[in-house]
Copies of this chain bind each other. A is one copy, B any other.
Amino acid sequence: MEEIDRRIVTLLAKDGRMSFTDLAKETGLSVSAVHQRVRRLEKRGVLRGYTAVIDHDAIGLPMTAFVSIKPIDPAAPDDAPDRLAHLAEIEACHSVAGDESYILKVRVASPHGLEDLLQRIRAAANVSTRTTVVLSTPYEHRPPRFDVDGDR
């Protein structure tokens, strides 16, 4: 992928609703050339979609936490992500190296809501949990900086 595609991706990461007209101005290409490139990036899966950035305080889910989980029975098949997928409070699920097996990012309304969610997580996936409560988020969703190289 070269320069202009990277530029387009970065611009759309900063403003997912930027118009093709504006993308064209920023990249120096014509509108239709930009259009073509964006569609190609979408098709290739480089651009996986678009989403609104939401203020969780404003929608009544002001509490964020990271929940690390570990299976109670290490011999059982590990299908925790599937077993937890129905819990809408879980925004993300990452399989990780280290002492625990997954890190979940969760959004809840209150400490009570967190307590309740943790119980449901433990019950649904047969895991123990370790929770780190987020106090504030100085920044999040920063656009990626990516270079030509394959390293650094």
A contacts, CB < 8 Å to B = 1, 6, 9, 12-17, 44-56, 58-61, 64, 66, 81, 85, 88-98, 102-103, 107-110, 112-113, 116, 132-147, 149-152
Contact = CB atoms under 8 A, between A and B. Distances in A.
Contacts of A13: 51-52, 54
In this complex, the member of A51, A92, A145, A152 whose beta carbon has the largest number of chain B beta carbons within 10 angstroms is A51
Kindly report how many copies of this chain are found in the complex they form together: 2
Contact of A96 (B44, B102, B134): B134
A109 B142 contact: no
Prevailing SS type, chain A contact patch: mixed
Contacts of A85: 139
Contact of A141 (B6, B51, B61, B110): B51
Contacts of A110: 150-151
Given A60-B149, A60-B150, A150-B60, A95 B15 contact: no
